[in-house]
Structure 1
Amino acid sequence: MKASMDDLYLFILTVRHGGISAAAQAHGLQRSKVSRRLQELEKALGCQLLIRTTRQIELTEHGRLLYKHINQPLSDVNQAISLLKNQQQSLQGVLRIAVPAAFIASAMFAALLDDYARQFPDISLEVIHRHQSVDLKRENIDLQLLPDIVDIINEDYIQQVFFPSKRGLFCSPHYLTKNPMPQGLNDLFEHAILTSHYDSSTLPEGLNIRLISEDLGLVSRMAQSGHGIALLPIILVQQQIKTGTLVHVLPDIYQSEIAMTLVYSSRQFLPQKTRVMINLLRDKFLNHR
């Protein structure tokens, strides 16, 4: 679909007047028509230009790029249109992904980035530490991964829960030489507990929380050093269990589910670089147990 010059003009008016209603009123146009034509322009370019709120509009990164060039000679306008389309369709540029430190520390995430970087060498990766939901459009972030217990800031964003796994309690054999093996959940009140901020909310109140960290690698290392009993995803400590550096505590009594939520802003305006990362995540983790 080719972008209409009339729609580009309406885009200019909307930006200059700071909103769709203001632009329509100033030029004697119907608001619904201006809104519809702007949607057609976004559809033609394959990307979102405006963040619409009740009283005003904000420009996305693509919107700012287009507006920057649109008052230039026609050749520059056409160049800007081609640039936007190429950005959406090409496997180049920067992919920005927000991930909590707990997941960044995992070998699985490192393997995922390694596969992505090998398959798409022209795409640069920017990994941003975030443990709360962010406004993807305003912060110019392509994807976010969060524990499924975290509320998403924008309910219109696409959300997919994947990577279901189990959590368990683990400690080192050295810890058990100085402390008795718990026989039930009530025995945990006599032990030091190591956990993350997310996981601490799933534990009984009143426990002796010795360490809270979003870096699950740190939690695991502290458990291996004998500082307490750690609540960790089982998938992250399988090697430590095999080598005997960690012991599974109360395996038949305490286990809880954990999953991750994949968040992105739109299906309609999904750049190819983002789409291939989503597909890679699904292939690796969607059916993982």
Structure 2
Amino acid sequence: MKASMDDLYLFMLTVRHGGISAAATVHGLQRSKVSRRLQELEKALHCQLLIRTTRHIELTENGRLLYQHISQPLTDVNHAINLLESQQNSLQGTLRLAATASFISSPMFAEVLNTYVSQFPLVRLELVYLQKSVDLERENIDLQLLPNMVEIINHDYVQQTFLTSTNGLFASPAYLQQHSEPKNMAELQQHWLLTSSYNATLLPEGSKIRLVSEDINMIQHMASLGQGIGLLPTILMREFLQQGKLVQVLTDINYSDIMMTLVYPSRRFLPEKTRAMVTLLRQKFAEE
């Protein structure tokens, strides 16, 4: 489907007048017709151009690119359309991916990145460290990975849960040599614990908490240094267990599972570079 010049003109009017209603009023058009034609334009270009709110509109990155070109002589319009189609359908450009610092630095995520950059060398990866959900369209972020306890601020976004892991208790061999290994929950109460604020709520009342941090790497590091027993996602501790830096204790006790949620704005306008990353993530963690 090719973009209609009439629809491009309505798009330009909407941006110039700061909203769909304003453009419709000034030019004697029905608001519903303008809105419908803008949706057809987005469908034809396979990307979102406008972020619609109750009072006004904002341009997406693609919307700004298109408006910048169609504000020029009409000969640039086809160039703008071809440029958008190329960006959506080709495996090149920039992919911005946001995740927690602990997940970005995990060995399994590094394996995904290695596979991606090897297969798609023309895509530039930008990693953004974020602990909370953000408006992906306004922040110009293609994908976000968040633990399941974080609330997604925009429920219209696509959300896919793709990794589940139990939480376990981990301590360094040196710590266990200096302190007797706990054999039950009552003995665990005598040890210093290292945990996130969410996992702290899972611990029994009266637990001795030495460190609370949202950075899993910091909890793991302090546990490796012998500063206490860390409550951590089991799947992210495999490397440290294999290296002998940590030992899991009270293996028969499982705390609440942790899951990772993959968030992106839309299935309908998903660029191929983004789709490729989604596919790799799901394949990798399905194996895990």
Amino acid at match of 2:91: L
Query: How far did residue 209 of structure 1 move?
Result: 2.4
Once the two structures are superposed, the pairs formed by residues 157-168 of structure 1 within 5 Å of their partners are 157-168=157-168
Q: Following the alignment from structure 1 to structure 2, what is the Cα–Cα distance between the partners of residues 57 and 175?
A: 57
Q: Are residues 1:42 and 2:42 paired?
A: yes
Q: Following the alignment from structure 1 to structure 2, what is the Cα–Cα distance between the partners of residues 164 and 210?
A: 27
Query: How far did residue 229 of structure 1 move?
Result: 0.1
Q: Following the alignment from structure 1 to structure 2, what is the Cα–Cα distance between the partners of residues 217 and 150?
A: 18
Matching residue of 2:174: 174
Deviations 1:250-276 (A, max 9, x none): 111234311100000001100000000
SS class of match (2:146): strand
SS class of match (2:63): helix
Deviations 1:168-201 (A, max 9, x none): 0011222123323223324333221112344334
> How has the CA–CA distance of structure 1 residues 86 and 288 changed in structure 2, closer, same or farther, with 3 Å as cutoff?
same
Once the two structures are superposed, the pairs formed by residues 1-289 of structure 1 within 5 Å of their partners are 1-285=1-285, 287-289=286-288
Larger deviation: 31-40 or 246-255? 246-255
> How has the CA–CA distance of structure 1 residues 191 and 12 changed in structure 2, closer, same or farther, with 3 Å as cutoff?
same
Amino acid at match of 1:46: H
SS class of match (1:190): coil
Q: Following the alignment from structure 1 to structure 2, what is the Cα–Cα distance between the partners of residues 86 and 111?
A: 28
Larger deviation: 169-178 or 194-203? 194-203
> How has the CA–CA distance of structure 1 residues 73 and 233 changed in structure 2, closer, same or farther, with 3 Å as cutoff?
same
> How has the CA–CA distance of structure 1 residues 220 and 79 changed in structure 2, closer, same or farther, with 3 Å as cutoff?
same
Instruction: Say whether the 8 Å CA contact 1:105–1:216 is kept in structure 2.
Output: no
> How has the CA–CA distance of structure 1 residues 279 and 30 changed in structure 2, closer, same or farther, with 3 Å as cutoff?
same
Deviations 1:58-102 (A, max 9, x none): 100111111111121122111111111111011100000001012
Instruction: Say whether the 8 Å CA contact 1:191–1:228 is kept in structure 2.
Output: yes
Q: Following the alignment from structure 1 to structure 2, what is the Cα–Cα distance between the partners of residues 212 and 105?
A: 19
Larger deviation: 32-41 or 66-75? 66-75
Give structure 2 stretches of 5+ with no counterpart.
Answer: none
Identity of aligned residues (%): 63
Query: How far did residue 214 of structure 1 move?
Result: 3.5
Instruction: Say whether the 8 Å CA contact 2:168–2:253 is kept in structure 1.
Output: no
Q: Following the alignment from structure 1 to structure 2, what is the Cα–Cα distance between the partners of residues 189 and 262?
A: 36
Q: Following the alignment from structure 1 to structure 2, what is the Cα–Cα distance between the partners of residues 243 and 76?
A: 59
Amino acid at match of 2:164: P
Instruction: Say whether the 8 Å CA contact 2:166–2:254 is kept in structure 1.
Output: no
Q: Following the alignment from structure 2 to structure 1, what is the Cα–Cα distance between the partners of residues 204 and 181?
A: 18
- The two structures, once aligned, show a CA RMSD in angstroms of 1.5
Q: Following the alignment from structure 1 to structure 2, what is the Cα–Cα distance between the partners of residues 61 and 206?
A: 51
Q: Following the alignment from structure 2 to structure 1, what is the Cα–Cα distance between the partners of residues 134 and 37?
A: 29
Larger deviation: 209-218 or 24-33? 209-218
Instruction: Say whether the 8 Å CA contact 2:202–2:255 is kept in structure 1.
Output: no
> How has the CA–CA distance of structure 1 residues 209 and 105 changed in structure 2, closer, same or farther, with 3 Å as cutoff?
farther
Q: Following the alignment from structure 2 to structure 1, what is the Cα–Cα distance between the partners of residues 161 and 204?
A: 25
Instruction: Say whether the 8 Å CA contact 1:98–1:130 is kept in structure 2.
Output: yes
> How has the CA–CA distance of structure 1 residues 34 and 10 changed in structure 2, closer, same or farther, with 3 Å as cutoff?
same
Amino acid at match of 1:131: Q
SS class of match (2:189): helix
Normalised TM-score (structure 2): 0.95
Query: How far did residue 235 of structure 1 move?
Result: 1.8
Q: Following the alignment from structure 2 to structure 1, what is the Cα–Cα distance between the partners of residues 205 and 83?
A: 55
